Structure 1
């Protein structure tokens, strides 16, 4: 074997010091990689301490403390995996930076969970498993603990594999599997499961249609007009008014229900007033931003950046309101079961429980959000500020309406459905829109009749697709796999806990 060549002039001491330097650098790298998991573990400990302060020496203290830690673990995973649904489109369109996206998502997710998350929490905690069918209160508590751990583990694994999945599917599957393991199939409220499953099927379709509708409106009335800047000054405030009004109506009807009772009619009236006020207030702002802009698409995208940021905040609020139930719904049921023998009563949501869910989601966003935040924004179809605005507002409206009716929909599938809606509509519009063809002909200075295009070959047609078809398989796989995997894991964990408690 050839001898190792010695570096001239380098002493043994220098080589030893170099080895120590490499070890130090390696140690620093490992330490940096452990900072975020350590911070997450600290949050779990703090959640358990908060629960211990609430429980004191009361009954079921260990179960509540364990549930608080698992609920915090699930909340962190929700923030880490679902943050792509809130701000992925905005980051993919380069409207905001990664740091800005994380701050917006963390703040508004927590606000949505605290102000408007109660209705959906009741559905998750008491709408899937018929608590009266449980063999005992202890069995019901084991079911909720098993569901939390099963869902958290499955979402954690998906995040590690860079796969955005439905955290709602995970928690519903965990509750379903543990409930069947505890009391058989009769313990499941199949009517609630049918409603939840129907919402999973319909919500991405609805969000796709809404997103395509917004994009069609923008194309027809703004983007392909001769004076697109003037059209944007006219119509962009209207879009902002619609968004602000729908957000205000939802907040008035659901977000303030614990403070004052507001009927649906009054909430709609409040939304109308706020919508008109938003329209009026945004008109001078959009007009000032449009001054000096050239009549081109790049200028139009600049006008949509600020509304896109607002829509991303709205979507984050909606996500917090809807998906906080996935973390603290079972925890609320555990707290209720330890303090009441009547498991059929409506489950109340203590403020400290809601706080764990809200801040847990924010912690997951800040600690682990960047890992998946670009997947929805760039890997399905190409987004710019205009298309990302349509995705965000469509997803926000869909999630808000679902939360309004107490349906735990999948925000992941809603967001992806919106992206697909935008992408497929663009494909259709580019091939079939007479307005776009006339606009292109005008820009090219063609005053003669546009020559008909030759029919594209199948291979050429596939290259013109604006949406990656392979993502359909990914979505279907996530849809099919998440629920049964979480259910089997929940059933297995319940059996283990039941054996250990003997």
Structure 2
């Protein structure tokens, strides 16, 4: 009687098929990466051709086309790098599929850039360098091109080395450094630069305060109530209505001012009506969604899916409004200097340049968003939808206010500030909340007065290191990124001046 081969041995055919499958998967992975790179390169080429249709035959057209190509490349990088901040929490919480999330993010990025992105673009293009002190428009254009080139190089270096970097700090530092290289320290608007630096410091604290306020409301009025589901039915539509109303008021007040004057009072009335309509619309939706849910925190995560979807769209809108300036702010300055009759600081940014930046952001999201979200999928799926909602709304509101005043801020650093605020507040609230302790005591006996992880020294050490790394990321942006970008932009300006001027 022949002996049977061990059951754990694979037949030769299966082994060969597995090898072929692995080769096919590797080939598909490489092909997808090459396809993304090819599509990105094609967008840069199309952006250059698009620019050529507006400036060909005019003085400095070559510099303008080169600047537009660099701006398009920067926009793709910015859109790709920040997509996980914008829609990652919503995807991780399974509030919407990845494809839908990317489309929503791309549309909201374009809307934010085109509707309310002009103020920050003005700051980057004409608020850091005093153009009146630079009579030579060609030299001014080379300075801005150097700033854009320095930012692009630093973004590439940070990608290769996996070093944390902020495109906002890179572009601002590059513009200031190139301006000083061209015409000395007098060319820099130091008051404006100081305001931007102050906003960098203040933004994380403001977002932290807003996130804490929202989380306090959720904890007190929803989470730690005897009937959580009934409380959520009452208050989740209110949160959605508030978010919709505030956003609509902002959109009317800031977005429409380019077309007509709308007072803050009228915008507030429109926002109030919009908020009431959104609240009334969401009441039956949340009520139906809550049917059959158990009275526990896990059920609340389901009910916060819709607010998280709206927060993701709001976050993408805010990101487009503020970060589009990092890509096209220097481009706008170059176009005005070479294509217009004079270096105009009062005219609006050309629409065709804004379109390049807006669609560049969305291109980066659609091309590289899926891969980046999958790469950090493990971290995203661990996010609590309620805390993610607080962080997203706080970050979006802070960035939108900064955009209203033309202040370029780092969306990532603002979000990190909100995360720190939520984390520290939760640790304090666990110890200090009388309502929480009463509920825990009534359900399980004595409340746990110390977090469980404090009993594990290695876990305490790990959490400390994670917090320190994020804190050092922000410090590094100040200590390293801005001076490095300014120095590199100055060196590039001197090199380009030696070669072409």
Is TM more than 0.5 here?
yes
Using the TM superposition, give the Cα deviation of residue 401 of structure 1 relative to its aligned residue in structure 2, in angstroms. Answer: 1.0
User: Structure 1 residues 212, 185: closer, same or farther in 2, change over 3 A?
Assistant: same
User: Which of residues 459, 462, 474 in structure 1 aligns to 2:460?
Assistant: 462
Work out whether 1:420 is the aligned partner of 2:415: no
User: Structure 1 residues 183, 450: closer, same or farther in 2, change over 3 A?
Assistant: closer
Which residue of the partner structure matches residue 333 of structure 2?
333
Using the TM superposition, give the Cα deviation of residue 489 of structure 1 relative to its aligned residue in structure 2, in angstroms. Answer: 1.5
Question: 1:19-39: CA deviations, max 9, x gaps?
Answer: 999999987665443221111
Using the TM superposition, give the Cα deviation of residue 91 of structure 1 relative to its aligned residue in structure 2, in angstroms. Answer: 3.5
* Unaligned residue ranges in structure 1 (runs of 5+): 1-9, 11-18
What SS is found at the alignment partner of 1:469? Answer: helix
Question: 1:365-412: CA deviations, max 9, x gaps?
Answer: 122234544788865995211111111111111111111111111111
Which residue of the partner structure matches residue 143 of structure 2?
143
Which residue of the partner structure matches residue 131 of structure 1?
131
Deviates more, 1:340-349 or 1:426-435: 340-349
Work out whether 1:498 is the aligned partner of 2:478: no
CA distance in 2, matches of 1:428, 1:346: 49
Work out whether 1:475 is the aligned partner of 2:474: yes
Which residue of the partner structure matches residue 366 of structure 2?
366
Contact in 2 for aligned 1:311/1:393 (Cα 8 Å): yes
Which residue of the partner structure matches residue 118 of structure 1?
118
CA distance in 2, matches of 1:239, 1:286: 12
Deviates more, 1:458-467 or 1:64-73: 458-467
Using the TM superposition, give the Cα deviation of residue 495 of structure 1 relative to its aligned residue in structure 2, in angstroms. Answer: 1.2
User: Structure 1 residues 108, 21: closer, same or farther in 2, change over 3 A?
Assistant: closer
Which residue of the partner structure matches residue 170 of structure 1?
170
Question: 1:440-489: CA deviations, max 9, x gaps?
Answer: 11222x3xx76977997794893696993232223322332221121112
Using the TM superposition, give the Cα deviation of residue 424 of structure 1 relative to its aligned residue in structure 2, in angstroms. Answer: 1.4
User: Structure 1 residues 35, 239: closer, same or farther in 2, change over 3 A?
Assistant: same
User: Structure 1 residues 117, 29: closer, same or farther in 2, change over 3 A?
Assistant: closer
Deviates more, 1:402-411 or 1:216-225: 402-411
What SS is found at the alignment partner of 2:59? Answer: coil
Alignment length (residue pairs): 483
**TM-score, normalised with respect to structure 1:** 0.89
CA distance in 1, matches of 2:479, 2:372: 21
Using the TM superposition, give the Cα deviation of residue 490 of structure 1 relative to its aligned residue in structure 2, in angstroms. Answer: 1.1
Work out whether 1:243 is the aligned partner of 2:243: yes
User: Structure 1 residues 291, 187: closer, same or farther in 2, change over 3 A?
Assistant: same
Query: Counterparts in 2 of 1:428-439, with a 5 A limit?
Result: 428-439=428-439
Which residue of the partner structure matches residue 343 of structure 1?
343
Deviates more, 1:74-83 or 1:307-316: 74-83
Using the TM superposition, give the Cα deviation of residue 325 of structure 1 relative to its aligned residue in structure 2, in angstroms. Answer: 0.9
Contact in 1 for aligned 2:128/2:192 (Cα 8 Å): yes
Deviates more, 1:383-392 or 1:130-139: 130-139
Question: 1:412-436: CA deviations, max 9, x gaps?
Answer: 1111111111111111111222211
Which residue of the partner structure matches residue 6 of structure 1?
none
Deviates more, 1:20-29 or 1:331-340: 20-29
Contact in 2 for aligned 1:84/1:375 (Cα 8 Å): no
Deviates more, 1:332-341 or 1:35-44: 332-341
CA distance in 1, matches of 2:127, 2:377: 33
User: Structure 1 residues 368, 29: closer, same or farther in 2, change over 3 A?
Assistant: closer
Question: 1:324-380: CA deviations, max 9, x gaps?
Answer: 111111111111111345425324211111110001011111222345447888659
CA distance in 2, matches of 1:395, 1:287: 28
Using the TM superposition, give the Cα deviation of residue 192 of structure 1 relative to its aligned residue in structure 2, in angstroms. Answer: 0.4
Contact in 2 for aligned 1:92/1:384 (Cα 8 Å): no
What SS is found at the alignment partner of 2:346? Answer: coil
Deviates more, 1:401-410 or 1:309-318: 401-410
Using the TM superposition, give the Cα deviation of residue 81 of structure 1 relative to its aligned residue in structure 2, in angstroms. Answer: 1.4
Deviates more, 1:418-427 or 1:316-325: 418-427
CA distance in 2, matches of 1:314, 1:218: 19
User: Structure 1 residues 193, 82: closer, same or farther in 2, change over 3 A?
Assistant: same
What SS is found at the alignment partner of 1:199? Answer: helix
Work out whether 1:46 is the aligned partner of 2:46: yes
Contact in 2 for aligned 1:164/1:372 (Cα 8 Å): no
CA distance in 2, matches of 1:29, 1:378: 20
Using the TM superposition, give the Cα deviation of residue 270 of structure 1 relative to its aligned residue in structure 2, in angstroms. Answer: 1.6
Deviates more, 1:204-213 or 1:274-283: 274-283
Work out whether 1:103 is the aligned partner of 2:117: no
User: Structure 1 residues 92, 101: closer, same or farther in 2, change over 3 A?
Assistant: same
Work out whether 1:252 is the aligned partner of 2:252: yes
Using the TM superposition, give the Cα deviation of residue 107 of structure 1 relative to its aligned residue in structure 2, in angstroms. Answer: 1.7
Which residue of the partner structure matches residue 5 of structure 2?
none
Contact in 1 for aligned 2:93/2:381 (Cα 8 Å): no
Which residue of the partner structure matches residue 5 of structure 1?
none
Deviates more, 1:54-63 or 1:97-106: 97-106
User: Structure 1 residues 230, 451: closer, same or farther in 2, change over 3 A?
Assistant: closer
Query: Counterparts in 2 of 1:186-335, with a 5 A limit?
Result: 186-335=186-335
CA distance in 2, matches of 1:23, 1:454: 47
CA distance in 2, matches of 1:43, 1:130: 32
User: Structure 1 residues 115, 104: closer, same or farther in 2, change over 3 A?
Assistant: same
